[in-house]
Structure 1
C-alpha cells in the first residue's frame, strides 16, 4: 500500500525529533524518497511551524533541541528516567503555535519530553491520534480536540474520559455535568476577554459595540457566548444581532455580506464600535470598509480578538490577547505534577489532589483602531512632567 503524505510527514518528524536536527540528504535516504520530495515536505512542515529550516538542514522548533529529544536536565529527586508527555493539538500554526510553545518550554524546564500530534481539526480522528501518542510512550496527555461545531464535545469527546493516563484538556471545556467536566483543564477565559473589549469601547463613549464573529471553532463559539455574558453583566442590549462572519478565502460572498451588514449599521447610526473575531478577518474587514468609504477609527472603532497579527495591520488593531503561551505552560506543569505525584504515591494509597479548572485572563492591548491612545503612547505620556 502506498504511503500517504501524512504518514511520510509523521516519519520525517519522528526522525528530526529523535536527532534534534538532520540534513535533507540524510532524511531522503532514511525515508527512501528523493531529496526533492523531502524538501517539499520540509517546506510544508516548516510553514506549519512544526520544523525549522537552516541552510539545507532541518531542526525541531526551539533552537535545534527536539521536543522529543532526550533532555539531560532532570528535576531534583526525579532520577534519570525521562518523563514523556503527549500533546494533541488541532494545528501547529496561528493560535495554537504559541500554546504548543508554552507546553514545550514547561516540559523542557521539568526535564520531560513532549511529543506532538496534529489533528487538522478532524475530531473524528482525535482518538486515533491520541492512541498514537500512547503507543509512542506518552505517560500523560495534553488534549486540545479538533472540535469545530457546538455538538462536537458530545459527538466526538466521550473517548477522552476513558483514557488510561492522566489527561489535561487545554483551551477546551466539556459539557457541564458530563464526563469531560471532571477532567483537569486549563483555558483562556474568553468571556472576560470580551468584557474587557466592551467596557473599553463604552469607556471611550461609544454605543454598545456590535459583534462580528465566526462560528467555526471553540474560540469563536466562546466569544459569541462571552458577548452575551458581557451585555448581560453591563445591562446592555445589542442594537443588532451578531453579524456572522466567514473566511474570505472559503466564502468570499459570505464575507462580503458580513462587511456590508457592518457598513450599513455604521451608516445608519446603529453602531460606532465593533468587536471582530478573529485578527485576519478584522484586517480584511478594515481594508474592505475603507474601500466602501467607512474609516477606522474615525467612523468605526474596532477591536480584534486573538492578537496574532493585529499589530501588523496598516492601522494597528486594538486586540484582546488570550494568554496562549501561559495556557500551554500551565497545562504541561499541571500534567507533570499529576504524573510525578502518581509516581511518588505508587500503590501506597496517597490521596489524589482535587481536579482543577484553571481559567487564565486575556489582556486588552490598545492600539490605533479604537481611537484611543495606544498602550505605548500611554506609557510615554505617563512619564511626562
Structure 2
C-alpha cells in the first residue's frame, strides 16, 4: 500500500522529535524519499508551526506553557482550551463509538480533540502519536493497533515513555510492565461473555459453543473470557472453539467454521452458540439457513459487539460493550490528569485501571420471550 503524505509527515515528525535536530538531506534518506520531497514536507510542517527550520536543518520546536492556561484557574479546572490527541486503529465499526464518546466528552470539557488512525499497523503507532504531539496535543488517548500479544511486546514499550499524560483505550498490558502503570479504560469482555453464557443456560440449553475470531484484542479477550466463564459456571467445553474468519477475506475458512457449527448442531452436541462478531454472526446465520439449520429454532445464538446485530433478518441477541462510555470516561480521566498537573505539579496521582461492564441486549435469536430488553 502506498504511503500517504500524512503518514510520511508523521514519520518525519517522529524522526525529528527523536533526534531534536536533523538535516533535511538526512531525513530524505531515512524516509526513503527524494530530497525534493523531503524539503517540500519540511516546508509544509514548518508553515504549520510543527517544526523549526534553519539553514538546511530542522528542529523540534520549543513549546512553552500557554499564558492563558497558566493565568486562568477556571480554565485549568474545566479543561477549557486543552488539546487532546486520540490514536485509534480504525474510525469505523467498534471504534466509531469509542471516538464519538471521546469527542463528546472533550467538547463538554471545552477541549479540542485531534484524531489519528493507524489502520491496525502497530509499527506506525509511535509515529502517529508523535504527529499528535506535534499538532499540540497535551495528553493522548491511545488504542494501539495491536492484533495480539506479539504486537504488544514488539510495539508497546514506547507508550510508557511519552512526555505527556496518556490513557490506554480498550487495551491491557502485561502485569508488572511499565505499560501496566499507565491509566487505562477498558470493557470487561469476560463479564460480557459470562452474561451471554448464563442467559443461554437459563433458557435451558447445554454448554454453549464459542465461534470467535482471533485477530484482535477484543477477540482474544472473548476467548479468554469463555474459558473463564466455563470454570465459573462449572461447565466443561462442548468442543474446541471454532475459529471464525471474515467471509469476504477467507471464504474457505468461513465455510469451514460454518460446517463445524452445523455438525455440532445436527449431531445434537450443542443447541446454543456465542459468535464474535456481529458481521460474522449474521453471515453464519444466513449460511446455516441454507443448510437447513434455523435460528433460533435449531440453534440459539448470541452475537458479540452489538454493532449491527439488531439489523439481521432475525434480530440477534448481542453482548454490547460500553464503547461510547469507554471513550467518554477515558477523556474525562485525561482531562483530570492534565488539570491535576497544573494545580499540583509536585503530587504524583494514583493511576487507575477502569473496567466498564457490557450489557446483554436480548432479541429474537436466542429464543427468549419476544420483546427486546437489556440485562
Normalised by the length of structure 1, the TM-score is: 0.78
SS in 1 for 2:210: strand
Question: Which among 360, 363, 366 is matched to residue 367 of structure 1?
Answer: 363
In 1, Cα distance between equivalents of 2:189 and 2:158: 26
Report deviation, 1:149: 2.1
Q: Relative to structure 1, is the Cα distance of residues 378 and 276 closer, same or farther in structure 2, using a 3 angstrom cutoff?
A: closer
Please tell me whether residue 376 in structure 1 is matched to residue 372 in structure 2. yes
In 2, Cα distance between equivalents of 1:96 and 1:141: 16
User: Does the CA contact (< 8 Å) of 2:80 and 2:111 recur in 1?
Assistant: no
Please tell me whether residue 214 in structure 1 is matched to residue 210 in structure 2. no
Report deviation, 1:364: 0.1
Output one character per residue of 1:224-281: Cα deviation in whole Å (capped at 9) or x when no partner: 0000010011111111010001010110000000000000000111100000000000
Please tell me whether residue 130 in structure 1 is matched to residue 126 in structure 2. no
In 1, Cα distance between equivalents of 2:9 and 2:269: 51
Report deviation, 1:10: 9.0
Q: Who is 2:57 aligned against?
A: none
Q: Relative to structure 1, is the Cα distance of residues 285 and 299 closer, same or farther in structure 2, using a 3 angstrom cutoff?
A: same
Output one character per residue of 1:63-101: Cα deviation in whole Å (capped at 9) or x when no partner: xxxxxxxxxxxx981179610010000000000000000
User: Does the CA contact (< 8 Å) of 1:142 and 1:168 recur in 2?
Assistant: yes
Q: Who is 1:77 aligned against?
A: 74
Q: Who is 1:16 aligned against?
A: none
User: Does the CA contact (< 8 Å) of 2:273 and 2:301 recur in 1?
Assistant: yes
Please tell me whether residue 176 in structure 1 is matched to residue 172 in structure 2. no
In 2, Cα distance between equivalents of 1:321 and 1:278: 11
User: Does the CA contact (< 8 Å) of 2:304 and 2:318 recur in 1?
Assistant: yes
Question: Which among 349, 353, 365 is matched to residue 349 of structure 2?
Answer: 353
In 2, Cα distance between equivalents of 1:358 and 1:178: 18
Report deviation, 1:302: 0.1
Normalised by the length of structure 2, the TM-score is: 0.80
After superposition, the CA RMSD in angstroms is 2.1
User: Does the CA contact (< 8 Å) of 2:160 and 2:182 recur in 1?
Assistant: yes
In 2, Cα distance between equivalents of 1:97 and 1:205: 36
User: Does the CA contact (< 8 Å) of 1:365 and 1:375 recur in 2?
Assistant: no
SS in 2 for 1:275: strand
Q: Who is 1:228 aligned against?
A: 227
User: Does the CA contact (< 8 Å) of 1:366 and 1:373 recur in 2?
Assistant: no
SS in 2 for 1:285: helix
Report deviation, 1:168: 0.2
User: Does the CA contact (< 8 Å) of 1:85 and 1:139 recur in 2?
Assistant: yes
In 2, Cα distance between equivalents of 1:202 and 1:285: 22
SS in 1 for 2:145: coil
SS in 1 for 2:149: coil
Please tell me whether residue 143 in structure 1 is matched to residue 122 in structure 2. no
Output one character per residue of 1:119-175: Cα deviation in whole Å (capped at 9) or x when no partner: 000000000000000000000000000001221111111110011100000100011
Q: Who is 1:336 aligned against?
A: 335
In 2, Cα distance between equivalents of 1:216 and 1:4: 24
Q: Relative to structure 1, is the Cα distance of residues 7 and 356 closer, same or farther in structure 2, using a 3 angstrom cutoff?
A: same
In 1, Cα distance between equivalents of 2:255 and 2:83: 47
Report deviation, 1:360: 0.2
Q: Relative to structure 1, is the Cα distance of residues 353 and 236 closer, same or farther in structure 2, using a 3 angstrom cutoff?
A: same
Q: Who is 1:95 aligned against?
A: 94
Q: Who is 1:265 aligned against?
A: 264
User: Does the CA contact (< 8 Å) of 1:245 and 1:258 recur in 2?
Assistant: yes
